[in-house]
Amino acid sequence: MNTWLTPGLATMFLTALALPAAGLTSEHQQSSESICQAQLGSNIDAVINRPQFRRARWGILIQLLSSDEKNRASIINKDNTLYSHDAQHFFIPASNIKLLTTATALRQLGSAFRIRTSVYDTGAGSLRVVGRGDPSLTDVQLKDLAQQLKRQGVRYVRHLVVDDGYFQGDVINLSWEWEDIQADYGASVNSLILNQNAVKLTLSPQKLGQPLQVSWADAIAAKQWRVENDSVTAEAGTSATVTLSSVLGQSVLRIKGQLAVDAQPKSFGLAILNPAEYFLQHFRNVLEAEGIQVRRASVVNNMGTPGERELAAVESPPLSVLLVETNQQSNNLYAEALLRSLQASAFVKLDTMNGSSQRNNENFSSPRLPTPDSRLPIFKLGVDANNDSSQIGLNKVESTLTDLGVDPKSYVLADGSGVSRHNLVSPEAIAQTLKLMAHTPQAAVYRASLPTAGVSGTLQRRFLNTAAQGYLQAKTGTMSGVSALSGYLDVPSYQPVVFSIMVNQSDQSVTNLRGAIDEIILLLTRLRSC
């Protein structure tokens, strides 16, 4: 992942670092000596009580995964606990928060849920595009929409309106750090998401003494910044010191530092400043490339009026697929979009916005686009259109998890992705969620969305050639001073276990923290009944 290169950045990683089970010695990796349940505690204590962790806070809960599907009390029974250390205390969970968000999305929306983007006829030759927060939307889908319109005979649009009003409230979380919301992994979450609301910028060395060359992957996105390039190409072998910075609320991007003349180009992922305008310009270009002339275009935030006829539409992959990207790649934008999509379960269906109007369209003279019954229904706020979509989602997470059986006092949520350091979660809350979800109809989809050790996602390069490879499905979490891992482990010669491990307030490197966590997991793989 491309990160914002500033000292001390609280970085939320979207993908795993290209590291093996860092910190593990060959003895830890290869040991197959069995340990009994009674020995587990002292072995884990020996890891977390090392001198380098004396200032860190550890929270750990390891429990058997109950097979009693009918008794919720049995599922979360403390008698099933194999090890506990400050399991009821609050910790910053980083991306482990996604376990709660995605569990709620599955319970509330269902694995077949899709997010629909529509184009409506508003009369007199005008079109209105309604986005509903599809995080997977790219230029490919925009071209699909344009081609649908073209097939229906649309050749001229008097006024193109893109409606960014489906999600209400702030498009960025006010508890996120400034460094985070500048970077691609902290991109704004609005109703009209395109290309994950992010763009890649590449800096390349030029002749000695010249400024670095600035290249953008997207020319439309590039127009949103005014670049102040104070960088320089340095002598061969010089260390890279490039930094990017900007001022909140301004479009200035400052580039400082140096790259050696013989250095490879460096890329950075940036959050789009104005996502709705970015969407508008892209769609206008796509329409014109398909031979559809656009006279005027603008952004609105009012969700239009009932009775408009849907002319074209595209849909996201099903939720089961969106969850894989969310959890396996730890995609923050996806998590935040799904959090806001939970408002759909609090809305009432508005049939007139789903193409129920039979009004003829004399300006386009095109047939009505059929809407199969399996497609996502359109929703509108049923009570208060000014409600904040993010807060509605957070409320829905709490109520859903409470209904599931998770103690609502065991966590405090500030977002759906884990970027915020205001999130507070206990290992007990995570373990309860994992255990209870394992006994729901959504269990298989939920578990399949998690990274598998040595195989996929953010665990693809962890636990390689160890007893955990292929047997561990877990969610990672990383930011400065924080590392977490929570999930399921099928112990080869023991019972399946569920666990949550979090470490906070550490001055150790990510490599050391992950190495210690991985040692604990490998201890679990050695458990035997004795």
Choose among 512, 438, 425, 528: nearest CA to 61: 425
**If you write DSSP's letter for every residue of 231-288 in order, what string do you get?**
EEEE-TTPPP--EEEE-TT--EEEEEEEEETTSPPEEEEEE-S-HHHHHHHHHHHHHH
Domain boundaries, given as residue ranges, for the chain: 34-108+391-528, 115-316
| Digitized pLDDT (tens) for each residue of the chain, 530 residues in all | 333 333 233 333 333 333 334 444 433 444 568 999 999 999 999 999 999 999 999 999 999 997 655 566 666 666 799 999 999 999 999 999 999 999 999 999 999 999 999 999 998 899 999 999 999 999 999 999 999 999 999 999 999 999 999 999 999 899 999 899 999 999 999 999 999 999 999 999 999 999 999 999 999 999 999 999 999 999 999 999 999 999 877 899 999 999 999 999 999 999 999 999 999 999 999 999 999 999 999 999 986 666 789 999 999 999 999 999 999 999 999 999 999 999 987 553 333 233 333 333 333 333 322 333 222 333 333 334 447 999 999 999 999 999 999 999 999 999 999 999 999 999 999 999 999 999 999 999 999 999 999 999 999 999 999 999 999 999 999 999 999 999 999 998 899 999 999 999 999 999 999 999 999 999 999 999 88
Residue range 115-316, CATH number: 3.50.80.20
Q: Please provide residue 321's backbone torsions phi and psi, each rounded to the nearest 5 degrees.
A: -80, -40
Q: Which helix (H) or strand (E) holds 327?
A: helix 319-328
Please report the sign of the dihedral spanned by the C-alpha atoms of residue 61, residue 63, residue 69, residue 71: negative
Alpha-carbon distance of 491 to 495, in angstroms, equals: 6
Please count the CA atoms within 13 angstroms of the CA of 153 that sit on its side-chain side: 11
**What's the pLDDT at 71?**
62
pTM of the model: 0.87
**What's the pLDDT at 488?**
99
Alpha-carbon distance of 215 to 289, in angstroms, equals: 24
Please count the CA atoms within 13 angstroms of the CA of 350 that sit on its side-chain side: 17
SS3 state at 406? coil
**If you write DSSP's letter for every residue of 411-448 in order, what string do you get?**
EE-S-SSS--TT-EE-HHHHHHHHHHHTTSTTHHHHHH
Alpha-carbon distance of 499 to 83, in angstroms, equals: 9
CB within 8 Å of 16: residues ≥ 6 apart: 451, 457, 458, 459, 460, 461, 462, 476
Alpha-carbon distance of 442 to 474, in angstroms, equals: 16
Per the document, the length of the chain is 530
Residue 55: CB atoms within 10 Å: 10
Question: Same fold for the domain at 34-108+391-528 and the one at 115-316?
Answer: no
Alpha-carbon distance of 183 to 5, in angstroms, equals: 10
What architecture does CATH give domain 34-108+391-528? 3-Layer(aba) Sandwich (3.40)
